[in-house]
Amino acid sequence: VGGDARAFARGLVGARVGAIRRRGKFLLFDLDVADGRPAALVGHLRMTGRMQVRPRGSAPTPHECVALDLDDGGTFSFDDVRKFGRLVLVGDADELVGALGPEPLGASFDAAWLHAALHARRRAVKPLLLDQTFVAGLGNIYVDEALFEAGLHPLTPSNRVSTRAAARLADAVRGILTRAIERRGTSFDGFYRTPEGRPGGYQSELKVYDRAQEPCVVCAAPIRRIVVGQRGTHFCPKCQRRISR
Ligand SMILES: [Zn+2]
């Protein structure tokens, strides 16, 4: 929770939760308010945050930061071992998420849009795909995996991506996210867990992420790790050839 815990409680007591939505990496709880109080509770799990409803009176989760009693007998719990997560009250949730790019699983994200958007910028594709104002919701692991599947070097200038490569990238992003959601995410260490505390299953499908020096599943060349925009970046030097500027 950012800021003053007492003000946070004042903003929430008696509030009625309307719609619960997700936009990019944000979870939005719209609050019914008639008296000028905050209009939404916005959460971000960051690395290790977990939200769940547990029965009221049950033991707090091991790293519970926020507990909110609900009128149906449950307690909303926000647990975060590393405490990078956020849960804040805002006056207008849409103002906060309005600058985000399109949802990669939404109707407007397709090959034609992606090609045009890549060519409207001149940035390396890896940091551009992580930029939440370009596309919302993509994180480091899935971007590395998508670039591998599309055969694009992470430092490819975005305006040099061909129509066919943009189509492969759009398919890769959608396919990887869909499979990762089905597998309930990626848990490559002991901290990343589903709300129920179980590991996800996508880590067994990772082809480049966290596989430095291991053989590429396609060509057997050793996977390389470099740092791009302060993020560990994994790729196959043979399958993802660098295009010079
Ligand atoms: Zn390869």
* Structure confidence by residue, pLDDT tens digits, 185-198: 888 666 677 777 78
Check whether 1 has a pLDDT greater than 60: no
List, in sequence order, the alpha helices (H) in the chain.
Answer: 5-12, 93-97, 111-119, 125-130, 140-150, 163-182
Contact of 76 with 43, CB cutoff 8 Å: no
The CA 224 to ligand 1 mean position distance, Å, reads: 10
CA of 190 to the centre of ligand 1 (A): 29
Using the mean position of ligand 1's atoms as its centre, give its distance from the Cα of residue 201 in Å: 23
Report the separation in Å between the CA atom of 213 and the middle of ligand 1, taken as the mean of its atom positions.
12
For 239, counting Cβ atoms within 10 Å of its Cβ (0-12 exposed, 13-18 middle, 19+ buried), the class is buried
Q: Enter the DSSP assignment of 196.
A: T
Distance CA 200, CA 81 (A): 17
Q: How many angstroms is it from 149 CA to the middle of ligand 1?
A: 10
Span from the CA of 114 to the centroid of ligand 1 (angstroms): 24
Average pLDDT over residues 28-42: 83
What average pLDDT score do residues 127-150 get?
A: 97
Is the pLDDT score of 199 beyond 90? no
Asked whether residue 245 carries a pLDDT value surpassing 60, the answer given is: no
Task: Give the residue with greater pLDDT, 223 vs 50.
Answer: 223
Please check the confidence at residue 54 and state whether its pLDDT lies above 80. yes
pLDDT at residue number 220: 98
Query: From the CA of 86, how far away is ligand 1's center (Å)?
Result: 38
CA angle 212, 213, 214 (to 5 degrees): 90
Tell whether the model's pLDDT for residue 160 goes beyond 60. yes
**pLDDT, the chain, mean:** 91
Angle between helix axes 163-182 and 111-119 (nearest 10 degrees) is: 120
> What does the alpha-carbon distance between residue 189 and residue 197 come to, in Å, rounded to a whole number?
13
pLDDT digits (tens, 9 = 90+) for 102-136: 999 999 999 999 999 999 999 999 999 999 999 99
Kind of pairing between the strands at 74-80 and 64-69: antiparallel
91-108 average pLDDT score: 91
pLDDT of residue 190: 66
Going by pLDDT thresholds of 50, 70 and 90, the confidence category of residue 178 is: very high
Note whether 200 and 184 are within 8 A (CB): yes
pLDDT, residue 172, reads 98
Chain centroid to CA 170: 17
Q: What end-to-end distance do the CA atoms of the chain give, in Å?
A: 44
Q: Classify burial at 174, counting beta carbons within 10 Å of its beta carbon; exposed 0-12, middle 13-18, buried 19 or more.
A: middle
Instruction: Give Cα 129 to chain centroid, integer Å.
Output: 12
User: Which residues make up the environment of ion ligand 1, defined by Cβ < 5 Å?
Assistant: 216, 218-219, 221, 236, 238-239
pLDDT band at 171 (very low <50, low <70, confident <90, very high): very high
